[in-house]
């Protein structure tokens, strides 16, 4: 994925074509391209560790970059120095997710990608004394442009918020002991990110297929951080809505072409996301369903299948934005679940995948975590990796066919 003149010229031609197609589409009076025309459910994958690397799922990549035992992007930039870090991250951005990956995603009957990004991809929002890699925006533009060319719907996810929204997590880009997101200053930086991305979506033809903008991924739980969660629900959530909609109004965006604005669903545990919103038209809710970490589910074959078959996550405005076919840590290497050097359990994993797909398609659809990873825990851990699970024969090559394999 190198930016030569031929690549840039091709993208410019495609962008002009998309602009014309957009005019024709709206002139036809059809439903907005802010959703999936002709598609009944979202079926997708996360492009995880592309713009926020999580070392637990990309260990070989992390080591090859020279990040060693650094626990997050912040500490790797500190370790390498800004200029050297920018260079190694550029190589990562060029090779982790490529146009070939996106074509393969499309070939498997998937229609959506969720792209986790940090607020720092807009470098104007980074404060002095913060350590994040620079130069990722042109690679985001390139990936999004390829998604648009292929007809893949894009959920743009503010995965790493200013100050870090959850303690101890690599997905924030900066592992902290106490979350710093929940301040007026950091809400403002997040809102500026949302305004900036909204304008990009509505003015850059390469972003034509970006139809949903998530205001923050996995904030704190109300049970652990009650004041922070309550403040986010009452302050940041409605301000995020207003800033996105006001920017769309300034740009003259038609009502039918507005972005879906996505919040973590109430099941996440931060509170009712819509209680203080000034509106809910084109609101969407992100539910993360990992049976692996649900202690109420018996860690047995029958327990997992039964839980999936009986699950109901909500209406069509709910999308299960993260899930996997991994099982509880203390069970994953048992004889009935082990996948190391054996395919003896593959048929059960096929059923577990299909049971979850059937459950999640009772709602708005699903986005698997993740498309790609490498050698988690030292082996090919395809329970987290869609591409590898397809290669293993566990996930079908036609995503829409999975429901028919469900044991429910």
| The one catalytic residue among 218, 228, 248, 361 | 218
Of 350, 352, 347, nearest to 328 by C-alpha is 352
Angle, helices 237-251 vs 184-203, to 10°: value is: 30
d(CA 29, CA 60): 50
d(CA 252, CA 91): 38
Angle, helices 82-95 vs 73-80, to 10°: value is: 130
**387, 381 contact by CB (below 8 A):** no
Among this protein's residues, is 322 annotated catalytic?
yes
Q: Using the 8-state DSSP alphabet, how is residue 236 labeled?
A: I
- Helix (H) or strand (E) segment spanning residue 233: none
**398, 408 contact by CB (below 8 A):** no
d(CA 229, CA 330): 31
Among this protein's residues, is 73 annotated catalytic?
no
- In sequence order, which residues have a C-beta less than 8 Å from that of residue 68 and are 6 or more positions away? 62, 79
Cα-based distances in Å from 155 to 31, 201, 220, 392: 18, 11, 21, 27
**368, 396 contact by CB (below 8 A):** no
**189, 147 contact by CB (below 8 A):** no
**228, 179 contact by CB (below 8 A):** yes
3-state secondary structure of 159: strand
| The one catalytic residue among 54, 228, 248, 322 | 322
CA distance between the termini of the chain: 42
d(CA 142, CA 287): 28
State the catalytic residues: 218, 322
């Amino acid at each position: 994925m190198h930016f030569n003149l031929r690549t840039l010229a091709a993208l410019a031609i495609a962008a002009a074509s998309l602009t014309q197609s957009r005019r024709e589409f709206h002139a036809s009076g059809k439903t907005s391209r802010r959703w999936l025309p002709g598609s009944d459910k979202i079926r997708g994958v996360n492009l995880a560790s592309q713009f926020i690397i999580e070392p637990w799922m990309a260990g070989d990549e992390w080591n090859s970059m020279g990040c060693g035992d650094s626990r997050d992007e912040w500490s790797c930039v500190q370790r390498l120095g800004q200029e050297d870090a920018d260079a190694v991250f550029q190589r990562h951005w060029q090779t982790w997710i490529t146009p070939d990956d996106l074509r393969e995603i499309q070939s498997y009957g998937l229609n959506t990608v969720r792209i986790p990004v940090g607020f720092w991809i807009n470098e104007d929002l980074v404060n002095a004394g913060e350590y994040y890699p620079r130069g990722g925006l042109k690679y985001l533009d390139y990936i999004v442009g390829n998604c648009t060319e292929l007809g893949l719907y894009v959920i743009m996810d503010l995965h790493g918020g200013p100050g870090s929204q959850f303690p101890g997590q690599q997905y924030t880009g900066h592992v902290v002991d106490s979350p710093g997101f929940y301040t007026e200053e950091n809400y403002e930086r997040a809102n500026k990110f949302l305004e900036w991305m909204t304008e990009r979506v509505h003015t850059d033809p390469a972003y034509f297929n970006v139809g949903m903008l998530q205001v923050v991924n996995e904030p704190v739980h109300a049970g652990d951080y009650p004041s922070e969660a309550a403040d986010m629900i009452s302050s940041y959530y409605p301000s995020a809505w207003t800033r996105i909609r006001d920017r769309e109004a300034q740009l003259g965006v038609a009502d039918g072409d507005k972005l879906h604005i996505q919040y973590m669903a109430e099941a996440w545990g931060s509170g009712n996301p819509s209680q203080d919103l000034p509106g809910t038209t084109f609101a969407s809710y992100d539910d993360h369903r990992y049976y692996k970490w649900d202690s109420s589910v018996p860690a047995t074959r029958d327990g997992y299948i039964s839980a999936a078959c009986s699950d109901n996550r909500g209406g069509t405005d709910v999308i299960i934005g993260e899930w996997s076919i991994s099982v509880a840590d203390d069970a994953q290497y048992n004889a009935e679940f082990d996948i190391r050097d054996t395919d003896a359990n593959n048929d059960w994993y096929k059923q577990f995948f299909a049971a979850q797909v059937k459950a999640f398609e009772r709602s708005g659809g699903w986005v698997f975590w993740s498309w790609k990873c490498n050698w988690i825990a030292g082996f090919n851990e395809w329970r987290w990796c869609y591409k590898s699970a397809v290669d293993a024969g566990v996930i079908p090559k036609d995503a829409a066919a999975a429901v028919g394999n469900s044991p429910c």
